[in-house]
Amino acid sequence: MNPLLEKFDTPFETAPFGLIKAEHYLPAIQEAIKKAKEEIQEIKNSPIPTFENTIVALDQSGEKLNDISSIFFNLNSAETNDQIQALAREISSLLTAHSNDILLDEALFANIQFVYEQKEKLTLTEEQKTLLEKTYKGFVRNGAKLDENQKQRLREIDRDLSQLGLKFGENVLAETNKYELVVSEESNLAGLPDAVKEAASQTAEEKGKPGKWVFTLAYPSYIPFMMYSENRELRRELFIASSTKSCKGDELDNRQHIKDMLRLKNERANLLGYKRFSDFVLEERMAKSAPKVMDFLHNLLEMAKPKALAEIKELENFAKELDGLEKIEKWDFSFYSEKLKNQKYEVSDELLRPYFKLENVIEGVFLTAEKLFGIHFIENKNIPKYHPEVTTYEVIDTEGNHVAVFYADFFPRAGKRNGAWMTSFRGQKTVKGKESRPHVSIVCNFTKPTKTKPSLLTFNEVTTLFHEFGHALHGMLAKGNYESLTGTSVYWDFVELPSQIFENWSYEKECLDLFAKHYETEEIIPSELIQKIKNAANFQQGYQTVRQISFGLLDMAYHGTDPSTISEIFSFEKEILKPTSLLPDVEGTLMSTSFSHIFQGGYAAGYYSYKWAEVLDADAFEMFLEKGIFDRETATSFKENILSAGGKEHPTVLYKRFRGRDPKPDALLKRAGLV
């Protein structure tokens, strides 16, 4: 028996991880594809296509396939190995072919088109109109109107792109895992806090190097070293290792993969009648067009760059005065920034860490969600988990009704890619009056506990947890009929609003008082320390803004340029980043080859959305500041019009319904100290 093909006999029909073996995935996917094809055939056999028997039936088809695929690919990101990665390549090809079989099916599209052309005569709700529009456009935008030769080429392109994306991610993970900075002499640890040294010693033991200290490219190891190590040469070595991932000309090099992906994406866009891939993507975004995105980024750059240059000058003067350093290099930036911040605001990560024990911060986000939205989190150890470090919860409302299942996975390990993300094992939908509630997960790479200390987060890790939890709320509070329109199934430049607005609470005393207490003394974080956090919030905000803009510009350049003109990735990146360059270039370094957001994730021609959504989040949070950060009326409106609404209506309509007007940039510019 294959547990993936059986009805999940688990709490809330959660994935039965304890029963699943790697060899179960491929046959389960093959069987689920077969079943999904039968469902599609039934839709095509409808004598008279209707909204229900065609559009709704299509949205509800392939349920088992979706469930199995979600389980598999979430594990490929969070708990992978060589066997899973090999399976991912095979399964990805099968799923891509199956998706194309549906989207390029002439008879199926004819039924969809028949319903679409009757739309003015149909009595549909706004949600139903959106589903009809999205379904029809989805087919057209994925080749339904192409001739047979073009369809065959589209299939080949999609197959190759799926493989290239997987290979790109595998290479970045392999590069991250293989590097170690081994320190044998304690004198080379000067400046590092005891907790960082203890963690490095523990890593060394785990890697069979007792008596030494090992630092890796995992963020909780890399970032503190760059921030505190007084050994400039070792900072340089670690920086170079991090900044040359997958660009060394070996088997893990991603440069050719990037060029191949760009060529294929552009060809795909051309096939569908678009000049560039960015034109294809942005047609279904709030921003609408590449010129509008570029104007947005350049206007921000114009305001942020003078501030950023002044910040760099201040840092150079500080480093020269402190250590006689004549020129700041990229491996010096975090080190001197942390010292300068500490001097200016008397606040540092090491001063704050004791107040941010991971378990307390988790409790803090739960309490914040409870006060805002009336939901409660109850740990449920009967829910199967894919790794012992994962914690599982049931989410209920104030009446005790089941809301969602929530998985939390916080620490780095060899099988997990770097970074932090929210994902779902199952979305929310209502079929024939029966509602399926979502199964949502957040995956992070936070500071691990050591033998003597619990996991104590940096403030940046605290805001990251709030950020990902905001995404999770978007998924958990979903309320609608059609899974393709619920939760995070929204325009890509709208999806960051729930995550980024939730970060704001982590700066507010009323929220911090709920959970920020010293892990040893239980003392609530002092008011003066909270004020210092707020005072330091704009520290080097010009630099950070320019940095984010640089990623957005690089993304738009890659996906808005004729790829045949990109002969060499090093020189292309350097040229594009020149207007945003604030520190001396380092020969041989490259960020493109590990830019997973746009070459492995879903942010191609969409990285700008982080800054775009900041306008929305700052403007929306102003309303909470006016009414009270825990004002239930405002929170209920945000829940109903943003979090629960998903993609039922255009985001502009939803935002105006919450805010009472279109968003204004004033709050963001003020918050970032740019005006």
Task: Tell me if 112 is assigned to some domain.
Answer: yes
User: Does the pLDDT at position 675 exceed 90?
Assistant: no
Q: Are 190 and 138 in the same domain?
A: no
Q: Are 185 and 122 in the same domain?
A: no
Q: Are 185 and 112 in the same domain?
A: no
Task: Tell me if 415 is assigned to some domain.
Answer: no
pLDDT tens-digit readout, 401-460: 999 999 999 999 999 999 999 999 999 999 999 999 999 999 999 999 999 999 999 999
Tell which of 122, 145, 168 closes a domain.
145
pLDDT range class, residue 466, cuts 50, 70, 90: very high
What distance in Å separates the CA atoms of residue 290 and residue 278, rounded to the nearest whole number? 7
Task: Tell me if 599 is assigned to some domain.
Answer: no
pLDDT range class, residue 661, cuts 50, 70, 90: very high
Task: Tell me if 187 is assigned to some domain.
Answer: yes
Tell which of 210, 243, 276 closes a domain.
243
Task: Tell me if 75 is assigned to some domain.
Answer: yes
CA angle at residue 508 from 507 to 510, to 5 degrees?
A: 150
**pLDDT for the residue numbered 571:** 97
Place of tokens 């590097």: 179
**pLDDT for the residue numbered 490:** 97
Give 454's strand partners: none
pLDDT tens-digit readout, 426-436: 999 999 999 99
What distance in Å separates the CA atoms of residue 401 and residue 420, rounded to the nearest whole number? 29
Q: Are 54 and 109 in the same domain?
A: yes
**pLDDT for the residue numbered 674:** 85
Q: What percent of the chain has pLDDT over 70?
A: 100
What distance in Å separates the CA atoms of residue 562 and residue 543, rounded to the nearest whole number? 30
Q: What are phi and psi of 53, to 5 degrees?
A: -80, -5
Q: Which domain holds residue 193?
A: 179-243
Task: Tell me if 25 is assigned to some domain.
Answer: yes
SS3 118: coil
Q: Are 16 and 134 in the same domain?
A: yes
Task: Tell me if 30 is assigned to some domain.
Answer: yes
Q: What are phi and psi of 185, to 5 degrees?
A: -105, 130
User: Does the pLDDT at position 630 exceed 90?
Assistant: yes
User: Does the pLDDT at position 624 exceed 90?
Assistant: yes
Percent helix, strand, coil in the chain, to 5, is 60, 5, 35
* 431 torsion bin: left (phi>0), alpha (psi -120 to 50), beta (else): beta
Q: What percent of the chain has pLDDT over 90?
A: 99
Task: Tell me if 475 is assigned to some domain.
Answer: no
Residue 62 sits in a domain of what CATH number? 1.20.1050.40
pLDDT tens-digit readout, 183-227: 999 999 999 999 999 999 999 999 999 999 999 999 999 999 999
Structural tokens at position 556: 């738009």
User: Does the pLDDT at position 32 exceed 90?
Assistant: yes
Q: Are 31 and 79 in the same domain?
A: yes
Q: Are 201 and 93 in the same domain?
A: no
pLDDT tens-digit readout, 539-568: 999 999 999 999 999 999 999 999 999 999
What distance in Å separates the CA atoms of residue 226 and residue 90, rounded to the nearest whole number? 39
Q: Are 132 and 183 in the same domain?
A: no
Number of independent structural domains in the chain: 2
**pLDDT for the residue numbered 673:** 87
Q: Are 202 and 85 in the same domain?
A: no
User: Does the pLDDT at position 652 exceed 90?
Assistant: yes
What distance in Å separates the CA atoms of residue 477 and residue 428, rounded to the nearest whole number? 9
Q: Are 46 and 139 in the same domain?
A: yes
Average pLDDT, the chain: 97
One-character DSSP codes across 582-639: -S---TT--SGGG-HHHHTSS-TTTTTHHHHHHHHHHHHHHHHHHH-TT-HHHHHHHI
Q: Are 42 and 90 in the same domain?
A: yes
pLDDT tens-digit readout, 352-365: 999 999 999 999 99
Q: Which residues are catalytic?
A: 468
